Structure 1
Amino acid sequence: MENKKTTFVWDIIFIIYLIILIYFATTPKPPFNYSRFPNEDKMWHFLAYAGGMFLFLKSYFNRKFFLYFFGSIILTLPVTSEYIQALSPYRQFSMFDALASYAGILAVTLFLILQNIIKKRIS
């Protein structure tokens, strides 16, 4: 079990990350140039949400209320942000972006579940 100071640091990092992620996902103009190679934006969606899910699970895995509260935000954010982007003349809705985001969430979740299973079998 992590101490309260470490948990607090993870909480702050996750909340700052979530605010930045929501800002970049909902700003009217894309914050970065995603045209250097094909499907670059899908890669960034995967990495952004994988990183967010890692921080989320690191912060809230053992705290049920926050797990459900922030978990619902994390799980609705990919599709919600795509619908918000559809309202901007500079952005477009892409279900493939949302799927890449969910793939990042799923990859980290599966990795941590497998890691816990392996730890239990070893000990």
Structure 2
Amino acid sequence: MVVRGQQDLQRLWELLMAPLGFSARSLWVTFLDPDGRPLPQLLEVGELPDEAADEGVQGLFELLTHVLGEGLDGLGVAFLVVRPGRAGLVEDDRRLARSLLTAAREAGIVCHPVHVADDLRLLPVTPDDLAA
């Protein structure tokens, strides 16, 4: 599968996470090469607190850049926030998406649209959602 845009990325997450249904809030991370092909690595940052702190996001990016080092050149990162329930997109999701996008920009890492999944649906966090 090649990811050429948000819809392709959403489909990738849907394929990776099917069937939906989660017991705890967590963050999934995958990487896309410059041609949009996902790398085989899929990382889970487990049991996020309801309000993920900016310091935790900064620590995640420090870890990613340290572990992957030069391997990050040209790679894009994609995030999926998952949690139990049927609430759809909530303010904590927006806050975490803003923190992830800001940290990626500051680290000079290409960040694809953040997605959120609950027990019923998987959807992107849009620019309008981020501005809310």
In which range does the TM-score fall when normalised by the shorter chain?
0.3 to 0.5
Structure number with larger C-alpha Rg? 1
The answer to which structure has the higher helix fraction is: 1
Structure with bigger RCO (C-alpha 8 Å, 6+ apart): 1
The answer to which structure has the higher strand fraction is: 2
TM-score relative to the length of structure 2: 0.32
